[in-house]
A and B are shown apart, each in its own frame.
Chain A
Amino acid sequence: MSQVLEQGRDRFLALAARVPGGGALDALRAEGVAAFTAQGLPGTRLEEWRYTNVAPLAAIEWSDAAEHLSVARSALEAVASPVFACGLEVFVDGVHHAELDGTQRADQVQELADAATAPAALATLADAKRHPFVALNGALTRDGAAVSLDGDDQRAVHLVFAEASADVASHPRVVIETAPGARGTVIVDHVSLGLARHYSNAVIEVRVAENASLDVVVLQRTNDASFHTGHLAARVERNGRLRTHTLSLGGCFVRNDLEVTLAGEGAECVMNGLYLGTGDQLIDNHTWVDHAVPHGRSEELYKGVLGGRSKGVFRGRVMVRPDAQKTDARQSNPNLLLADGAEIDTKPQLEIYADDVKCSHGSTIGRLDPESLFYLRSRGIGVEAARLLLTRGFAAEVLNALPEPALAETLGAVFADRLERSGGVA
């Protein structure tokens, strides 16, 4: 391990020693410390981290949440719109801010720090031994939310993780459990209050029960100086349906891991992703869907837009185990490069051990189509507006698949705004 990674590891471990103990998270923290001590921060010699060097993250001296900041509701609503007030739960610098919460049903969302006992799924899906940042999250998490969906509640649960203080790292933990047949939507929303540099390292564990149907939206729209690592691990039981939407629309360093196990026959998972790279940003998406049993269906669409000197990484692993006959797995990763300095490393990885399956994958790297550009311009639309329109059009498929129309509209605007601000379309 390089010196900077070692230093980073030691600083994180020093912070872990200061996390106040007591409560339902103790076991998680102990396990996290042990696993993180063993692994440290990953170097680029590891296959999983080949394209993503975490040294810039390791070089910064992160601290944990200081004061309980006073945050105005209007400030929060400005960065986390559209706010789904019915199920709103707000954390600032990793700590729960009850005064900003909405009116969620008490039995639907609970803060982990207050829980008498840990939720059943906690630490059962995200594997700290295999993933250094999952271990780090376990070691340092202060709080997070346990969401349990048991009915047919159409109101979205909106978990906002806002970062405000300079050089603070927070490690939110989310556990989502569904009862058989339940349906619902959970939005995990990473935002910045202000322009200070910060780091969020989130872990989300999701259990989709038999016949349940769940949408999980992970939004990352933090400021240009921020770092983010996120890990979502899910398990889908018989005839359950999970749709994930992973949108990376901010930050300077972003790494998302998504691991879905289709554990019951007829389970289905749709993985949508959209990433927008600007400036010198790095955005890395590693996904893994594990078809463990027959008749599973997975459909993955990650779309990337890379401008400036940004770099994208996509690694889509699809595993079809010997038992998983009649699997239908599709994967697609189209990328749009807006500038000569932008780059994308995209690689599917299919591991198919069953013979009666349908699997397809495709990744493309393209530029804005000159003919389309000319068409729009020939109708009086200026060249920059036309480029923006085409780029938004490219992203529309993912945005339109979001579970709430209001989300699609706002995030379309966030996408366009960031693109325009960065000069990425010029």
Chain B
Amino acid sequence: MLEIKNLHATAGDAEILKGIDLSIGAGEVHAIMGPNGSGKSTLAGVLAGRPAFAVTEGSIRYKGEDLLELEPEKRALAGIFLAFQYPVEIPGVTNNYFLKASLNAIRTARGEEEVDAMDFLTLVKEKMKIVEMPQDLMGRSINEGFSGGEKKRNEILQMLLLEPSFMVLDETDSGLDIDALRVVANGVNHLRGPERSMLVITHYQRLLDYIVPDVVHVLSEGRIVRSGGKELAHELEEKGYGWIEGASAP
């Protein structure tokens, strides 16, 4: 589904990703862990097409297509979804209007009919139940004044509505209490299936108890320095990153 080869990316003058190779098959869930500043969000941003980053070398193929050729909106229409580490507040645009516009853009791209206001309401209510999100958040401006947890739920709500085929979750668990974590994980698991793949970025092995990964990667200074099964997350939790960096040193 996704094939990243020798990916180098810069922000301004700084090279942040220094040669990433990563292959994610259909239906697979990969987790990425790694210290602060190691480049996890940069990788997520490059996948979604964040303009602040420039790819200087390497390639990303998604379902056989050259992903780097596509504008961010085209990537979304092709089924890529990024749950933001820091969801953006947008005053004056209601969540309801936004989600409907987004859903209809994506439905049109898939060759499906647009949903009308009534059908949208029914659909969104159903999805809100899954993430246990209060109804009134739909009438408010996008993420404006939402609590940290509400913002994260809103990301997952969008994901449930848009039904993407490749999802990147950037620290969706950070700042969530235990109950919210379960709710959000439950939302994510709703979408797991043989045709959908995920890249889950997290600092905590706790999330991976709920969203069980097939592979865990450790990112350090812009490179993947170790990959393994889900037990790697446990090991990291116990020993910290120093252990990996030490182990990977020559």
Q: Are B73 and A393 in contact (CB under 8 A)?
A: no
Interface string of B141-169 (1 = CB under 8 A from A): 10000000000000000100010000000
Q: Are B162 and A380 in contact (CB under 8 A)?
A: yes
B87 within 8 A of A: yes
CB of B103 to closest CB in A, whole Å:
8
Q: Are B72 and A378 in contact (CB under 8 A)?
A: yes
Assembly CA distance A396 to B90 (angstroms)? 11
Interface residues of B in 83-125 (CB under 8 A from A): 84, 87-88, 90-93, 97-98, 101-102, 105-106, 109
Interface string of B66-78 (1 = CB under 8 A from A): 0000011101110
Assembly CA distance A394 to B93 (angstroms)? 8
CB nearest to A399 among chain B residues: B92
Assembly CA distance A376 to B142 (angstroms)? 10
Q: Are B102 and A393 in contact (CB under 8 A)?
A: no
CB nearest to A369 among chain B residues: B88
CB of B41 to closest CB in A, whole Å:
12
CB of A397 to closest CB in B, whole Å:
6
CB nearest to B45 among chain A residues: A374
Q: Are B87 and A375 in contact (CB under 8 A)?
A: yes
A372: chain B residues at CB < 8 Å are 88, 90
Q: Are A390 and B158 in contact (CB under 8 A)?
A: no
Interface residues of A in 367-389 (CB under 8 A from B): 369-372, 374-383, 385-386, 389
Q: Are A382 and B105 in contact (CB under 8 A)?
A: yes
Assembly CA distance A386 to B51 (angstroms)? 15
Given contacts A370-B52, A385-B101, contact A390 B93 (CB under 8 A): yes
Q: Are A377 and B73 in contact (CB under 8 A)?
A: yes
Interface string of A390-413 (1 = CB under 8 A from B): 101111110000000000000000
The interface centre, meaning the residue of B72, B106, B109 with most chain A CB atoms within 10 A of its CB, is: B72
B137 within 8 A of A: no
Q: Are A377 and B76 in contact (CB under 8 A)?
A: yes
Given contacts A375-B87, A389-B98, A389-B101, contact A382 B73 (CB under 8 A): yes
Q: Which residues of A are at the interface with B, using a C-beta cutoff of 8 A?
A: 369-372, 374-383, 385-386, 389-390, 392-397
Q: Which residues of B are at the interface with A, using a C-beta cutoff of 8 A?
A: 48-52, 71-73, 75-77, 81-82, 84, 87-88, 90-93, 97-98, 101-102, 105-106, 109, 141, 158, 162
